[in-house]
Structure 1
Amino acid sequence: MNKTKVHLGIIQETLLIPLWAKACELQAADPIIVDPKSSEILAAIDYEFDKFTTAKSSQIGCCLRGTILDNWVRTYLNQHPQGSVIEIGAGLNTRFERVNNGKVCWFDIDLPDVMVLRRQFFEETERRS
């Protein structure tokens, strides 16, 4: 299997940290966040993720932040089922896949090099009526 090479700027490359964190969390007995898509993406990327393994507190922080934001978005969508969500600095986040209610109008926005990478793992969707 050919893995995807990452061609990102130094700042944009930080998007790989939460991806790695959520993928690692799947190995926990009682995971903070369950995000199997992150593990799929991680396995498909040619990158030296081992350099993050000493950052356990960052890993936990990323997962807690992801869970908190997921819960905020779910609360919003419970109150506004056909609402819109704009995720700025989306990176390789899979929040849409975790909270999609089938009615939300969702926009993932990031820098051009990130969006090129993102398109390799996510299909654009259209709003359902």
Structure 2
Amino acid sequence: MALFDLKIVASNRLFYEGKCQSLTIPCTDGEKQVLAHHSAMLMAMTNGTLRFTDEAGSETIAVSGTGFAEVADNQVTVIVDTVERPEEIDANRAKAAAERAQERLRQRKSLQEYYKGQAALSRAMARLKVKR
């Protein structure tokens, strides 16, 4: 199988760097999959599940925050604010965050508070989905 170079960078760490067979990322207009020799593009990412298969064929699943992915010359660079493996997620903390976000949405007083609440709820739900 053809491979490409993948680099996933979060605001606090280098999450992955190496060869990859496939990458699926959550984008603002749905999930996108990248394979070797993909055409050049820049994609806006949203909170959700990020999956990739490394050169050995093992699949890694993670929760990613917002950011972007750049595809060029058989290299993919993903830059996101957060990225977590399922074992790094505390389910109780994610449930509490979801409840706080839902309460914040019910009590919103401005459009900005609404968007912040939506983003928090989206992050919490993505964490819970991957943890299950």
Question: Same fold judged by TM-score > 0.5?
Answer: no
- By percentage of residues, which structure has more helix? 1
- By percentage of residues, which structure has more strand? 2
TM-score range, shorter chain: under 0.3
Q: Which TM-score applies when normalising by structure 1?
A: 0.27
Higher relative contact order (CA 8 A, sep 6+): 1
Q: Which TM-score applies when normalising by structure 2?
A: 0.27
